[in-house]
């Protein structure tokens, strides 16, 4: 299955170990990490370990700027236990507020729809993370419920807004 997606300004493709230094720019940034489920990467070795752990079924993509080849974010689309396809994304803070997250998220939804046959989508964001909520609304997601999610290591729990979308 084709694992490369092209948008107006981005190429979405699998992450590789060669991306580690670009990726560490945001995985090691506490501001970017503020609402994320992973803990801040203390060094580039932690980022390399994470990249090496990614399996194709994780549906993880690098978000690459077409004009420069720089990896400015990553995200995923994967099938949940309930059969819905969940999307998520994370960006280098230097590229916030420029529409890249919306462009990448729409591309993940389109990929899910056309390549994976997905019709039911879901996502969540920390309720305090208004920017991420705006991205999801621009993609067509609608409020489903409030709840919580926690960091993978259990160190922090966030109040969250869960959203969903159905496409025919």
The pTM of this model reads 0.95
Q: Give the CA distances from residue 47 to residues 22, 33, 88, 94, 167, in Å, rounded to whole numbers and listed in that order.
A: 10, 13, 18, 19, 35
DSSP output for 99-124: SHHHHHHHHHHHHHHHHH---EEEEE
pLDDT of 57 reads 82
Ramachandran angles phi, psi of 8, nearest 5°: -55, -45
Count other Cβ atoms within 10 Å, centred on residue 41.
20
Please classify residue 7 by burial: count the beta carbons closer than 10 Å to its beta carbon, then call 0-12 exposed, 13-18 middle and 19+ buried: middle
DSSP output for 122-143: EEEEETT-HHHHHHHHHTT-EE
Query: How far is Cα 136 from Cα 50, in angstroms, rounded to an integer?
Result: 25
In the chain, where the domains are located: 5-166
Structure confidence by residue, pLDDT tens digits, 100-139: 999 999 999 999 999 999 999 999 999 999 999 999 999 9
Query: How far is Cα 23 from Cα 18, in angstroms, rounded to an integer?
Result: 10
Query: How far is Cα 133 from Cα 162, in angstroms, rounded to an integer?
Result: 9
Structure confidence by residue, pLDDT tens digits, 64-86: 999 999 999 999 999 999 999 99
CATH fold of 5-166, please? Aminopeptidase (3.40.630)
């Amino acid at each position: 299955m084709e694992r490369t997606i092209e948008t107006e300004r981005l190429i979405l493709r699998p992450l590789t170990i060669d991306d580690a230094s670009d990726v560490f720019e945001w995985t090691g940034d506490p501001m970017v990490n503020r609402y994320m489920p992973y803990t801040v990467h203390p060094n580039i070795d932690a980022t390399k370990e994470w990249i090496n752990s990614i399996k194709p079924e994780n549906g993880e993509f690098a978000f690459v700027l077409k004009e420069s080849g720089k990896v400015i974010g990553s995200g995923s689309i994967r099938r949940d236990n309930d059969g819905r396809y969940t999307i998520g994304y994370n960006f280098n803070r230097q590229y916030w507020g420029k529409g890249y997250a919306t462009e990448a998220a729409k591309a993940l939804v389109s990929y899910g729809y056309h390549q994976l046959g997905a019709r039911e989508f879901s996502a969540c964001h920390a309720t305090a993370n208004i920017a991420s909520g705006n991205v999801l609304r621009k993609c067509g997601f609608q409020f489903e419920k409030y709840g919580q999610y926690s960091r993978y290591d259990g160190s922090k729990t966030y109040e969250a807004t869960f959203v969903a979308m159905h496409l025919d």
